[in-house]
């Protein structure tokens, strides 16, 4: 596998032992999206966690741009953690390549690896922390 898509590159996964990284790598799929293509849409059923490998994406809520995403950034973690529909729309701002894990795989994986679950929880908490 291309080392640019190895799970150890992603902040939440980087400190896992090799055995767990291998498990993540085995269950990962890589998806590509053309510039301007919607990756996920606000309100959709949420069943995957994405991490950007190459390219950039924009995140909007209620049609308003909220932030930009770049390589290494995850998205979908809020829906993964809560089981709620997607809270934002993510559009490929450039051609985009993402590592993707299904919730069916990740939920039990996070139960077995609480350190990774805490990293995901911290990211989710950031969404509810008021900005400056």
| Number of domains the chain contains | 1
Tell me whether residue 32 is in a domain. Answer: yes
* DSSP string across 71-111: TT-EESHHHHHH-PPPSSEEEESSSEEEEEEEHHHHHHHHH
pLDDT at residue 41, as a whole number:
96
Cβ atoms within 10 Å of 115's Cβ, excluding its own:
12
Tell me whether residue 132 is in a domain. Answer: no
Strands 57-61 and 48-54: unpaired
| CA–CA separation, 58 and 75 (whole Å) | 11
CATH number at residue 66: 2.60.120.10
Tell me whether residue 91 is in a domain. Answer: yes
Residues 89-132 pLDDT 10s: 999 999 999 999 998 998 898 888 887 777 767 766 665 555 55
pTM: 0.81
């Amino acid at each position: 596998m291309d080392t640019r898509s190895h799970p150890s590159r992603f902040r939440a996964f980087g400190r896992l032992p090799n055995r767990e990284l291998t498990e993540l790598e085995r269950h990962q799929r890589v998806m590509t999206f053309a510039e301007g293509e919607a990756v996920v849409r606000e309100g959709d059923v949420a069943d995957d966690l994405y991490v950007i490998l190459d390219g950039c994406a924009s995140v909007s809520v209620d049609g308003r741009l909220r932030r930009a995403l770049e390589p290494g950034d995850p998205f979908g973690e809020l829906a993964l953690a809560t089981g709620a529909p997607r809270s934002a729309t993510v559009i490929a701002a450039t051609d985009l390549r993402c590592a993707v894990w299904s919730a069916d795989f990740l939920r039990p994986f996070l139960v077995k690896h609480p350190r990774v679950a805490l990293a995901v929880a911290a990211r989710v908490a950031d969404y509810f922390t008021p900005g400056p």
